[in-house]
Amino acid sequence: MSNQDLSWAVPVMRAGYAGRGVVYLVVAGFSLFALWHGGQAKGTSSALAQLERSTWGGLVLFLIFVGMVAYAIWRSLDATYDLEEYGTDGKGMVARAGMIVTGINHLALGIAAFLLLFTSGSGEGGGGSSSIVKAVDTVMGWPAGRWLVGIAGLATLGAGIYYGIKAVKEKYREHLRANSFTTRWNWVLKAGVLAQGVIVTIIGCFIVYAAWTANPDEAGGVGEAFSWLNGQIYGQVLVAIVCVGLLGFAIFCFVNAAYRVVPKVAGDDVMTLARRAKQKAERKVS
């Protein structure tokens, strides 16, 4: 398919990243508000449930639903047509398979937001299991379910480590258009991606441990990751730092919505952050 044929995927991508940014803005915002008032940081389900009870909650939940569906469609298109040119070698196929999994996860989140609009249940999660625990419990009941959970945990753990490497090496710059905003606020983007890596890595460890112990209750999501961090030395400080970092990740998502470059659509002549940084380094050497 030609670049022009695929250009319609770009608005879908931008809507998806915008919706993803709203999710992290809600989670980080409610968590920081709770911490400021002496409470506990919120998991995704708890934050969405609290959002549903707010004045503009219904509208925001609908926007999250639309955004998550768009993000799932975008990831499917990206993986199918290799819009970001990861290639067909082993590394590229793993990356493209990861896009499908990520899309499914965000679609599930979108469905959860949609259901909150039409149910009276709080979805708070207090006293009940998180969606990840329920999913792990279900899969463990399947043939070879424990192995499947372990593989999923390792994949999640790998994704978290990948986010960390992506932040440290600033590889995300390869897909962002260079301009005054993205250049000046690159440190915020880096902190956001790193914070996301921390959370995803902890969740991956939980899932792997659940598989190791054959106990679904050992799994957990964002809320359980916050609880674990809170139990460490200077736990409240750690949670607050990660929450601020997730605000940075929300900004990262919004920046992607506005300035992400899709190579197969944009072509090779777009000035990305990575290309500008390389040119700047070359000028220094010369």
pLDDT per residue as tens digits for the range 169-203: 999 999 999 999 999 999 999 999 999 999 999 99
Is residue 122's pLDDT more than 60?
no
The answer to whether 24 and 253 are in contact (CB under 8 A) is yes
pLDDT score for 124: 44
pLDDT score for 286: 67
φ, ψ of residue 183 to 5 degrees: the values are: -75, -45
Amino acid letter, residue 245:
G
CA dist 30 and 196 (Å) reads: 17
pLDDT score for 10: 94
Q: Report domain extents, the chain.
A: 3-263
Is residue 130's pLDDT more than 70?
no
CA dist 201 and 205 (Å) reads: 6
pLDDT per residue as tens digits for the range 240-265: 999 999 999 999 999 999 999 998 88
- What proportion of the chain, given as a percentage, has pLDDT over 70? 94
Average pLDDT, the chain: 89
Write the Ramachandran bin of 38: left for phi over 0, alpha for psi from -120 to 50, otherwise beta: left
Longest dimension (CA), the chain: 65
CA dist 253 and 193 (Å) reads: 10
pLDDT score for 120: 52
Is residue 218's pLDDT more than 50?
yes
The answer to whether 110 and 67 are in contact (CB under 8 A) is yes
- Picking from 170, 135, 126, the residue whose alpha carbon sits closest to that of residue 156 is 135
